[in-house]
A and B are shown apart, each in its own frame.
Chain A
Amino acid sequence: MKNFLLLLKQNPRAILGLSILLLWILLALLGPSLLPYSFSQMDMDNQISRPGLNGHLLGTDALGRDILTRIVYGSRSILTIALMTSLFSSLAGILIGFTAGYFGGFWDTLFLRIMDIVMAIPPLVLSMVVLGILGDSTIASLTIIVSIAYTPATARVARGALLSCKGSEYVDAARIRGESDFYIMFVEILPNTLGPIIVEITARFAYSIMMIASLGFLGVGLQPPTPDWGMMVIENKSIIREAPWAVLYPSLAIASLVIAISLFSDFISKVMIHEK
């Protein structure tokens, strides 16, 4: 932990990434109680108001809704879904990837083929089709679908990490001690593979944000009037000439969050893998 802070100090980009991420988390937690508007409240006198005018810091959209408020509310859902997605897909990935890699042979081949099939469909297309069929998306359905779409990738990472440890002599030592396969996989091997897995979780976090924003943009994200960053971009596209801010600010929000997480994830991978 001491080394972690020391390394962080030497790495200004990681500090930048971490601060932006923390700022978004703070906004998501405290923002709504500080803002005077609700996300669906329409200011009928100030439709398409410029940023900074009439008490709207980032302006309003065609319906007179406050952009800042909608972005802050939108950060709540997107952060929640992305965090859950990265955790769930990693958990499922570890379970599947470890089982396949550990037992090898037939199960491994079967796993690899199934994963190849799922991976052949772009995750975005897969999620879009499934969500389109299911109808109105909720936080739960979005989380589940995106997690499933990302599981093959995380499972491959977990399988690779397991394979690099599986040949270790401590695994042999555990075997001739009569340990169960479950114990060997999750007690002996798992702690030694945490490096690449944590890196995968942070990277997956950034991917999830992009995916959810994209799904919102394509209209299969959270349904109105719930604010959603991707949806905000598409619904304000028609007024982009009159009110560019209504598209610009949600886009910036997505970009800043993804970049922040990526910078931080680069740092994590440096600490967890390369410095060892």
Chain B
Amino acid sequence: MKNNTLLEINNLTVTYKTLTDSVVALRDLSISLQTQEALGIIGESGCGKSTLSYAIMGYLSSNGRCDGEILFEGENLLTKNQKQLMEYRGNRIAMVYQNPYSSLNPSLTIGQQLDEVTIFHRKLSRKQAREKTLEALTDLYLGDAEGLVKRYPHQISGGMQQRVCIAMALLCRPNLMILDEPTTALDVTTEAVILDIIGELKRKYSMSLIYISHDLGIVNKISDRIAVMYRGEVVEMGFKRALFSRPSHPYTRALINCIPRAGVVKEEVRLNTIPGYVKRRGLQETGCPFVDRCEKRVPGCTDKYGMMERDSNHYSACDRAYATDVPDKEIKALKISKEIPQPEERILDIKELYKHYRQGGTKIRALDGVTVSLETNQVLGIVGESGCGKSTLGHTVSGLLTPTRGHIIYKDKEISVSWRKRSPEILREIQLIFQNPGRSLNPSFTLETLLGRPMKKLLGISSKKERIKLSRQILAKVDLSEEYLNRKTTQLSGGEMQRAAIARAFSIAPNLIVCDEPTSALDVSVQASVLNLLSELQQTSGASYIFISHDLYVINYISDYIMVMYLGRICEYGKKSEVVGPPYHPYTEALLSAVPDVDPSLDKNTIRLEGSPPNPTQRIKGCPFAGRCHKKIGKICDTTPPPRIEFSESHFVYCHLKPEDLGAV
């Protein structure tokens, strides 16, 4: 057993010295990794996952300090100097980072960058290096490797860039590959393909993997064992089946419960949340790191603490996940306030909407004839890969973009004009919530100004006292206390910022809110609370949402109707239960199949979409999805626009297949 251990980390503590104090990023952390094993590391952001990978690679910044030992094949990496570390880095331990674009050099061709690795580490000649490069690229299923080596990073898509990065890491046949959120910046469909490839390469080259992610579904898919990190400590570690089916630590259980998954919808339950946020850890704190947010805490939790084997090979610092002395927090179904049957009138009518714009001389068809409508008190979810036009649609509705052609009719008023030409009344009634609250809330202002300004501008409330009073009420609605009024956004956590952004949108009683990926920059625990808040506010205020997301489960949770878009066109539209179940459009099916699931017992049938949506520059004659469709019939898909197949009054798809062929594969 001992001989099989590739990496052993004992009592690793990493501290960062900052201007004013010291912060513990990792504390007394011990993990081990066998050869050919994949270890998944999960935890919210700020839990020290990336610090761990940097510590292993010896890449800590200069104010970081490591204590303990990192044994790689029995050698302590922490005692090695930079030159000795070169033997390991990139050679025997390789790393793949989150953002492929910034890890590739934009001024070198892909071939040059990859050759360099083996020329440096293996002292190969240029010709031998190029052979290795081509071999590695072929391993990653990058067709036309010969052509690819001559291109520059910006000429290929993000998914391909990440595959090139993995090929680069693979070049020296490392024993250990560390992957730090390699698919977070990518679409689910691309992610699914990359995860498949990583799993295959691991088997082929007998590598060990450390896979870091905040997404439990991905980790579940790729790893054998899983370590859960919280505030710089491993709180639970075990084989994935045991860990996911019966977690021992309350944190693990809470994390698993946060994720919206198949079949979880707002009508039935609220999502589980973890109150509070990940705080920085001081040097002196003792006891369980999770105690302040734990619903199962008892007085003893603040002092005694330590990892114990709970089950065979299942270690945990706590076994109170299912403790019965503290009752489970009741997850109430959301009360639906429909005592007064509201007349379902149309609030928004989008007719044949086109948006074309020029990018460096080529015409991009971002929206290509979209027709959809929305009723009061309804949520329309729009889903699709990046570049499918979902954000463009949201921005044309909110007035940031002007459509090229077509109509947007809001309550019988034509509003297909830009914000400059909209009346204050329309501007007030249609609000937009952005993806990144850190960028959509001006960092120079306090919440008082941020919330007060729209009231002054659009509601015409000139008294400052009145505005503060209203701001307090709205803050209470989004679960922020009054003291936040004097804070700037830089003093808020990600979840608090998004709450503030939601408060701003709701502060002026809008009727239609466009939510543009409001949860994709957030941790799962925070995403859950934001989704709860959004659906609660929607049902109590009676507003309608256009909810844009790339995550089908999130869309499924919050929406009433779902629209699946591809290349600026509608593929499928219907009530959510109609869209997520068969019969469905092949694209919907592929999207559903790509989402990694947390339940280890589920084995999904796998449809893999190669590549990414093409740039919509050409006028598409046939079905936009034909190029990547797994059910493509033949020439007709490329030449003739697909007919509309109606399954019910509300549910339709655009496809050439016969209705009976649109079931599950």
Contact = CB atoms under 8 A, between A and B. Distances in A.
Contact of A178 (B398, B419, B435, B436): B419
Q: How large is the interface on B (under 10, 10 to 19, 20 to 34, 35 or more residues)?
A: 20 to 34
A177 B399 contact: no
Interface stretch (A99-107, A164-172, A224-232): A164-172
A172 B434 contact: yes
Contacts of A175: 399-400, 419
Contact of A179 (B434, B443, B457, B504): B457
Given A170-B441, A192-B442, A6 B20 contact: yes
B444 A191 contact: yes
**Of residues A6, A168, A173, A177, which shows the largest number of chain B Cβ atoms within 10 Å of its Cβ?**
A173
Contacts of B424: 178
Interface string A116-134: 0000000000000000000
Contacts of B86: none
B413 interface: no
A33 interface: no
A178 B457 contact: yes
Contact of B436 (A169, A177, A179): A169
Contacts, number: 57
B19 A3 contact: yes
A194 to B, nearest CB: 8
B432 interface: yes
User: Majority SS of interface residues in chain A?
Assistant: helix
B578 to A, nearest CB: 33
A34 interface: no
A102 to B, nearest CB: 14
Interface string B450-464: 000110011000000
Nearest to A173: B440
B427 interface: yes
B433 to A, nearest CB: 9
B422 interface: yes
B244 to A, nearest CB: 36
B499 to A, nearest CB: 16
A26 interface: no
Nearest to A194: B444
A58 B439 CA distance: 58
Given A169-B439, A170-B439, A170-B441, A176 B20 contact: no
10 closest Cβ pairs, A-B complex:
A191-B444, A169-B440, A170-B442, A169-B439, A169-B434, A178-B427, A176-B419, A175-B419, A173-B440, A176-B399
28 contacts: A3-B19, A6-B20, A168-B440, A169-B434, A169-B435, A169-B436, A170-B439, A170-B440, A170-B441, A170-B442, A172-B400, A172-B432, A172-B434, A172-B440, A173-B434, A173-B440, A175-B399, A176-B399, A177-B454, A177-B457, A177-B458, A178-B419, A178-B424, A178-B457, A178-B458, A191-B445, A192-B443, A192-B444
Interface of A: 3, 6-7, 168-170, 172-179, 188, 191-192
Interface of B: 19-20, 398-400, 419, 422, 424, 427, 430-432, 434-436, 439-445, 453-454, 457-458, 504
Given A172-B440, A173-B504, A191-B442, 16 more contacts: A169-B436, A169-B440, A170-B439, A170-B443, A172-B400, A172-B432, A172-B434, A173-B434, A174-B442, A176-B399, A176-B419, A176-B427, A176-B430, A177-B427, A177-B453, A178-B458
